[in-house]
Amino acid sequence: MTKIRKAVIPAAGYGTRFLPITKVIPKELLPIGNKPAIQYVVEEAVEAGIEEIILVCNPHKIPIADFFRPDRYLNRFLEGKGKEKEIEDLKRIESLARITVVYQEEALGLGHSILCAEDAVEGEPFLVMLPDVLILPSHTGAKQLVEECQQKMAWGVLLEKVPKEKLSSYGIVKSVINPQGDFVIHGAVEKPTIEEAPSDLSLLGRYLLPAEIFKYINEQKKGAKGEIQLTDAINSVAQKTPALGILNSGKIFDVGTPEGLSEIYFHLKA
Ligand code: G1P
């Protein structure tokens, strides 16, 4: 399999669970100590060998891209004050990866937001990383997914077991275990009821996808929540070319909620 160089991070949502702060600060920039949440996702991507991050934004989300770009006025100020360490720290962040911004003009769902990155992906297999989910340490998550998929020449998704009462909050996969002990995924259902759920394995928010996914997203009708769902496109591809399911071995934090953001803060402080 070719090297996985690009990761798409959908970040076009309005962050309504964090209002009122998200009226002026994108939720991806909310702080965990002095670091914005999205920096953890980008660092995880870089650990997985990613060179280019494609941020799917709405026009209010430009500060996310600015965070990863040099600010010459700030640098001049820091130089004047002899603040070498701060300059070096900023340089490290700015050189993590190339940042490309694409826009999702209408909030039509996760599948649609990934479709907005189609031109930037340029036909290569690519990662999708949902920034509401942080996985620590940074060498688990995406890196584990990329390495195992490359070894087995497959596309794939990171999985997490969820209790029954939470099945309807996630995309749930239909899978079998092959003789080598791998999860082989033949389908997926977005936000199923307990009765509809094909397993207790959820899509965690890290996907290594073939570029043909775009064709399948394009063909999707509105699914769960009346939105174009990535899970529905994954379901279509998996029926033809099964995917590898990798059980997550990292610790997960749902930073899509204020509670999750506090939880990771206290975890890192401990
Ligand atoms: C999204 C995906 C879902 C996945 C989940 C992981 O749902 O649609 O398949 O399981 O992220 O967090 P959302 O959380 O946006 O409702």
| 79-91 tens-digit pLDDT | 999 999 999 999 9
Strands 98-103 and 52-57: parallel
pLDDT-based confidence at residue 251 (cuts at 50, 70, 90): very high
Q: Per residue in 114-172, pLDDT tens? A: 999 999 999 999 999 999 999 999 999 999 999 999 999 999 999 999 999 999 999 99
Ligand 1 contact, 43 CB (< 6 A) = no
Average pLDDT, the chain: 96
Torsion of CA 253, 133, 142, 65, to 10 degrees: -120
- For residue 110 and ligand 1, the question of a CB distance below 6 A is answered with yes
Q: For the chain, what are the domain ranges?
A: 6-269
For residue 241, report the distance from its CA to the centre of ligand 1, in Å: 22
Q: Helix axis angle, 141-151 relative to 37-47, nearest 10°?
A: 30
Atom of ligand 1 nearest to the CA of 188: 9
Confidence of residue 12 (pLDDT cuts 50, 70, 90): very high
Q: Which atom of ligand 1 is nearest to the CA of 110?
A: 8
Assess contact for 107 and 14: CB atoms under 8 A.
Answer: yes
Among 14, 17, 112, 132, residue to substitute to test ligand 1 (most atoms within 8 Å of Cβ): 132
Q: Is the CB of 175 under 6 A from ligand 1?
A: no
Could you say which DSSP state residue 8 is in? E
Look-up of token digits 């002899």: 82
What is the CB-side half-sphere exposure of residue 28 using CA atoms within 13 A? 27
Per-residue pLDDT reduced to its tens digit, 171-182: 999 999 999 899
Query: Which residues, 6 or more positions from 133, have their beta carbon under 8 angstroms from its beta carbon?
Result: 204, 205, 206, 252, 253, 254, 255, 256
Decide whether any atom of ligand 1 lies within 6 Å of the 190 Cβ: yes
**Domain covering 6-269 in this structure, CATH number:** 3.90.550.10
Find out whether the beta carbon of 13 lies less than 6 Å from any atom of ligand 1.
no
Residue 138 Cβ < 6 Å to ligand 1: no
Please tell me the predicted confidence (pLDDT) of residue 59.
83
pLDDT (0 to 100) of residue 257: 93
Q: What is the 3-state secondary structure (H, E, C) of 34-100?
A: CEEHHHHHHHHHHHCCCCEEEEEECHHHHHHHHHCCCCHHHHHHHHHCCCHHHHHHHHHHHCCCEEE
- State pTM to two decimals: 0.97
Structure tokens at 201: 């394995």
Q: What are phi and psi of 204, to 5 degrees?
A: -90, -15
In percent, how much of the chain has pLDDT > 70?
Answer: 100
- The mean per-residue pLDDT over the stretch 8-24 comes to 94
- Answer for the pair 54, 6: CB distance below 8 angstroms, yes or no: yes
Section 217-221 average pLDDT: 95
